[in-house]
Structures are given as structure tokens and as C-alpha cells.
Amino acid sequence: MNSSAPVRVRFAPSPTGHLHVGNARTALFNWLFARQSSGTMVLRIEDTDVDRSEARFEDQLIDDLKWLGLDWDEGPDVGGSFGPYRQSDRLPIYREHAERLLSEHKAYLCFCTEAELQQERERATAERRQPIYSGKCRAVDPAEAQQRRDSGEACAFRLRIPEHPIRFHDIVHGPVEFSNEVVSDPIILRSSGMPVYNYVVVIDDALMKITHVIRGDDHLSNTPKQVALYEALGWPVPEFAHLSTILGADRERLSKRHGATSIANFRDMGVLPEALVNYLALLGWAPPGGTREIFSIQELVKEFSLERVTPSPAVFDMEKLYWLNRHYIKQSSTQRIEHLALNFFRALGLLSSAHTQGLEAWFSKVMALVLPSVDRLEQLPEKAAVIFNHDAKAALTASDNAEVLGLPNTDAVLTRFTVKILEDESAREGKLTAECFKKIVNEVKAETGAKGKELFHPIRIVITGSHSGPEFDKLIPILEEGSHLALPRHVLSVHQRVEAFAKARGK
């Protein structure tokens, strides 16, 4: 172990789709560890699975990582002195080292066919034996093997697993030991000449001088093979840190079935990157004392510690993410949030991207009204429906409104209110102020004797279609100003709403 060497870590995703939250956490922990120890972060693309890998996914991955605020010092896009950083560009390297292992008798040629191996495995399972490779070709004389290879016989390269238990250290799990009895001599180079994952990962990590391998614990059982490989190659074994799996609410491995799982999903929902980073850091890590929850990414760089990472699997809790997101939405500058929020309204055609006079100031008021009630930005248009939508008929027939509409005073309130608004000069022009509105409401109160919810609920039904909702002081100016803006979806003024409601009511 080269613990004194400068820290070098890597994040090594397969470009098979968008960045998943589990991988994002792995990337984050690698990055935090690198940054806090002034180490080097390497991005390596594991694209040896040609069938599933696509170049465009690599760009997506990079976008997703950058969105989270992560960066790297070496990688396919930025270069570096340990490249190439795409496995598909490293094939000659893998072959070269495989040949070396062969010549040193650390590896041997295996002539067993896939069908034979398959049979052997089936027999072993049937007889309840360990389905590991028999080691049949270990016995083949190297010279004879070479001859058979030269004559064109198909063969794979297998690593010789040592005759002793394999031990390694894991920062999150402590010492780990595997009996050599249970680990097969692994194939490192297929008969097709293509190297196998467990082999290339070792070659790459070693050649890239990776000192700490931080990855998902689904690789824990593969690690003994990899350790054996390091030893066969005569290279130092790195430190390992295997991170627990992230589970869904049903305690199964988090997958698309559980809804949003990719970084892009969260971005599209209007989750802020700092909220996601904070949340991901808290999944499996806690600061000493364990009472602090809010961490900026810079604070995490300071406070994070691999030693404090828990080994047990964690269930992804959307609600807690949303809580953090609400926190960061409040923390953010209104300018930034409004800029992000605008896109959600544009996407639905509620607002256009054209410059509309007075839009910015008006939109700020809309945001001030609805922002406190959302978990994520995508909910904004729905919350702003009270502004953009008005359906008097629906308001009259909604079951939620039945009780209020049936109250003894409601009819009088509605009638007085309607008359006053329709008569009001400023309302007719869509220039009713919050003060004037309040004055009218107070007059209705005095004339009908209705107060509290008897007074406010019917009026709110007229204006918004629902008895509960935002305060009038804030809402009225938004409606009035909105009615003067040139918007794709016209915002009805108070007067227009009252008029429509009166018409629907037929009184």
C-alpha cells in the first residue's frame, strides 16, 4: 500500500445512460476525498461493453457531473499524463500485460470451450459443489500450450489464483478476507482477445497510479480477484472503500421503477444541485456528533471523511431531499431561482421567451407568492394556476366548495361583493389596488355581517376558484398587473373574474 503517495482517485462510469444517483454519490465521495487531500481526481470511461456503450452517453455523464459541481484533473475531455482515459483506447495495453503475465507463468492459457465450462458448472451446482473453474488447463505444459495457441486453437488467458487466503483492507468495512477455495482462476483475456472487466480495472487503476479505489460495494466480491491480479503483476495494492448500495423505499436496489433516479431527472424536476449534493453526502456519511444536516459542497470538502462512511445500505428518501431543496431554494438569490423557474413556465406555454414589458417585476411577485409552497421548481406552474386559470363554472360545482357556497351568509356576500367590484372604476380598468380591494371587502363585511371565513372563503372562490389559497394583499396586484401584460395565456383581472363568476352564477 502506498499510503504516503499523493492521493489519486478515479470515477469510472460506463457510458450506458444518464448518471444514476448511486454513481453520483460514488463520484461525489471520490471528489470530496480528492479535494480535501489535495489529490487528483481522474475520470475514466469504462466502455469495454461495446453493445451498451454510446458516445453520446459520455457527454451526458460529463454534463451531469458538471451540473453537480464536480470536476476532474484528468479525463477523456481534459487529457492528462496517464491516458488514454477511455478503455476502448487502451486495448493494446491490456494485451501487453496479459502476455507478460503469461510469460511469467502467473497466467496460463485455457483451452476449455464455453460449452465445457457451462457443463462443468452445471454439474458442480447439481452436486452442490462450488461452481468454480476446475483448473484443468493449469496442468497443461506451457510449451505445449504455446504450440496449440500458435496452431490457431482458441484459448483464453486465465490468472492463477494463489493457494492462500486473500486479504485486503477496506476503509469502510475494515479488514476483509476471502478463502482462495471460493475464487476461480478468472479469465483475464477472452479467446476473442477482448479483456475482461475485472482485469482491465486493475490494469487501469495501477497504471493510473490510483491510490484509493472508492466504488460501490457490488464490487466487494470481485476485489479478491483484483487483489490477486495486483500481486501477480507485482504492483502495489491500493486502499479500497466500498460504498453501500442505495435502495428504494421497498428496500430493493434503487432503479427506474422507483421513479426519479438519474441526476438528469432531478435537474428536470427543479431540484438544485447543492440540495442533491448535500443529500447524497448524508446518505452513508454523517459528521462527528451527527447533528448537523446542512453542508455546502465546500463545507463537505472540509468535513467529509471516508472513515466515517457507514457500511450499511441506505434507503433513498425523497422527502428529505425535498426538505433540503426547499432550504436551498430559500437560500438562493431570487434572481437565480427566477431564472430557473421561468423555464418551467415557458415549457408549458404559460410564458413566452419573448421580452415582455414589465414581465420581470411581475414574475418576481408571482414567485414571492408561490415559491414558499413548493418542494421543487417544477411544481411552480401548478401552484400558479390560481393566477393563470379561472373557471367560474368549475368553482361553482366543485365539491370542495359546496360547504362554503351553502353557508347562510354566502349569497349576500357574493352579491354585495360582485356589485361593488363591477361598479368600481379602477377595477374595471384592471387597476384595483390591494388597499381598495380590502376596502371593498370591509364594506361587504359591514353590510352583510359576515366575517372571517364566512367572508373570505366565498370571495376567494370568486377570485381563484378555491376557498383556500394565497393572501389577497399579494394576489390582487398580481392579477391586476398580469392582466395588462402581453402573455401567451392572458391573466384575468379581478373585474373579469367577478364578471365571469356572476355570469356563471346567473344572478
Partner RNA sequence: GGCGCUAUCGUCUAGGGGUUAGGACGGAAGAUUCUCAAUCUUCAAACCCGGGUUCGAUUCCCGGUAGCGCUACCA
Active site residues: 256
- Decide: helix, strand or coil at residue 130: coil
453-464 and 410-423 are packed helices; what angle lies between their axes, rounded to 10 degrees? 50
3-state secondary structure string across 351-362: CCCCCCCCHHHH
Question: Smallest gap, in angstroms, from Cβ of residue 488 to RNA?
Answer: 26
Question: Smallest gap, in angstroms, from Cβ of residue 485 to RNA?
Answer: 24
Q: Between 315 and 422, whose beta carbon lies closer to RNA?
A: 315
What distance in Å separates the CA atoms of residue 404 and residue 54, rounded to the nearest whole number?
Answer: 59
What distance in Å separates the CA atoms of residue 345 and residue 350, rounded to the nearest whole number?
Answer: 5
Q: 86 - beta bridge partners?
A: 45
Question: Smallest gap, in angstroms, from Cβ of residue 382 to RNA?
Answer: 12
122 within 8 A of 153, measured Cβ to Cβ: no
Q: Between 112 and 210, whose beta carbon lies closer to RNA?
A: 112
Question: Smallest gap, in angstroms, from Cβ of residue 342 to RNA?
Answer: 20
Question: Smallest gap, in angstroms, from Cβ of residue 428 to RNA?
Answer: 24
What phi-psi label fits residue 19: left (phi over 0), alpha (psi between -120 and 50 degrees) or beta? beta
Contacts of 44 (CB under 8 A, 6+ apart): 10, 11, 12, 75, 76, 85, 86, 87, 204, 208
CA angle 306, 310, 313 (to 5 degrees): 130
Q: Between 176 and 485, whose beta carbon lies closer to RNA?
A: 176
Question: Smallest gap, in angstroms, from Cβ of residue 496 to RNA?
Answer: 21
Question: Smallest gap, in angstroms, from Cβ of residue 220 to RNA?
Answer: 5
Question: Smallest gap, in angstroms, from Cβ of residue 73 to RNA?
Answer: 23
Q: Between 267 and 326, whose beta carbon lies closer to RNA?
A: 326
Q: Between 102 and 359, whose beta carbon lies closer to RNA?
A: 102
Q: Between 126 and 354, whose beta carbon lies closer to RNA?
A: 126
Q: Between 112 and 359, whose beta carbon lies closer to RNA?
A: 112
Q: 247 - beta bridge partners?
A: 253, 315
Q: Which amino acid is at 85?
A: Y
Q: Could you tell me the sign of the dihedral formed by the alpha carbons of 281, 285, 287, 292, in that order?
A: positive
Q: Which of 421, 494, 411 is CA-nearest to residue 455?
A: 411
263, with CB counted inside 10 A (0-12, 13-18, 19+), is buried
Residues 444-457 as b/e (b if ≥16 CB within 10 A, e otherwise) read bbeebebeeebbbb
Contacts of 504 (CB under 8 A, 6+ apart): 392, 393, 395, 396
What distance in Å separates the CA atoms of residue 135 and residue 141, rounded to the nearest whole number?
Answer: 13
Q: Between 401 and 487, whose beta carbon lies closer to RNA?
A: 401
3-state helix, strand, coil in the chain (%, to 5): 55, 10, 35
How many other CB atoms sit within 10 Å of the CB of residue 332?
Answer: 16
